[in-house]
Structure formats: structure tokens, C-alpha cells
Amino acid sequence: MNNDISTPEALAALRESGLIPFYRQIPRDARLQWLGGRVVRLNQLLHKETVDEYLNQDVLALDENIMDELPLSALTLDEIGEAWDRGVAGAYGPYYGVNILSLMNFLRSYLDTPKKREATKIQQAHNKERERAALSERMWREVQERIRKEGGKKDGA
């Protein structure tokens, strides 16, 4: 996977390929790069300057917090971006600026939206179907292997 996911073009290329990884599946350096770009963008929306020294601290803390909460680390970059955009627009209550507490609350609020709950149900059903298919395939291979071994014993006996 290409580690440059910080641009809309790179994300569009991922979407076109059908590979939309969960946050936790993305290499750390790429996650940090993407988070830094998003924080700068959010500050620009508020016409605020981004202080590099704080940006690095905020990005590291955001990454750690997201990775520590399984439901959040299972979001895609698009979902994280959407949650933050909605939060900045006031969808989850007052917004006073880019800070870790607000951004994490936006993600938690996003998880609790009807749209995301429905998407999660669909994804869980899809995952169960994939697990069943993998189990069926594994069982079928075991049966074939057993038949092959038993067939070999009969031929050699």
C-alpha cells in the first residue's frame, strides 16, 4: 500500500482500487501524516494558525487515543474526516477549536449516529458471511484432503 494518503487524490485512488483500510490497518507514519494534514485543515477553516510544536504533540496524542479505542480505530479515514467536519460544523454541539478532547468527542458522537449504526450492522453481517465462507472453504479442503489420503490408502492396500 502506498503510504502517501494525505492528499484527496491518494485517497481517491485507494477508493477506486476498492481498498479502504480501517485506521488501525494503516502504517503509523501514514496515519500521522494524514492526521497532521487534517488538523492543519481544521485550523484553516477557523482561520487559525497551526503551531508546529503543538501540531506534532496533538497528532501523536490523537493517534494514540484513536488506536486505544477499538471502535474508533475501526473507522476509515473518510469516516474520521466526516466526523470531524460534522463536529466543526456544530453537528455534535459547540466547537471551540482544534483540540484532542473535541476531536475525540466528534468521533464518539459519529459512532452514535443512526447512519453509522446501520453501516456497522451491515459490515458485521458482511464479516460474518465472509467468516462462514472461509470456514466452509477450510472444511471443504479438509474433506478433500481426507478423501485423498483415504483413497491413497485403499489403492496401496
Residue 22 bridge partners (DSSP):
76
Helix (H) or strand (E) holding 31: helix 28-45
The model's confidence at residue 65, banded by pLDDT at 50, 70 and 90, is: very high
Shared-domain flag, residues 106 and 139: no
Instruction: Summarize pLDDT for 124-140 with one digit per residue, the tens.
Output: 666 677 677 777 888 88
User: What domain count does the chain have?
Assistant: 2
140/114 Cα distance (integer angstroms) = 39
Is residue 118 scored above 90 in pLDDT?
no
Instruction: Summarize pLDDT for 37-56 with one digit per residue, the tens.
Output: 888 888 888 777 777 777 88
Shared-domain flag, residues 97 and 68: yes
Shared-domain flag, residues 99 and 121: no
Shared-domain flag, residues 20 and 89: yes
Closest CA to 23 of 68, 73, 59: 73
Shared-domain flag, residues 90 and 147: no
Give pTM, 2 decimals: 0.62
Is residue 15 scored above 70 in pLDDT?
no
Is residue 157 scored above 60 in pLDDT?
no
50/44 Cα distance (integer angstroms) = 8
Shared-domain flag, residues 103 and 130: no
74/67 Cα distance (integer angstroms) = 9
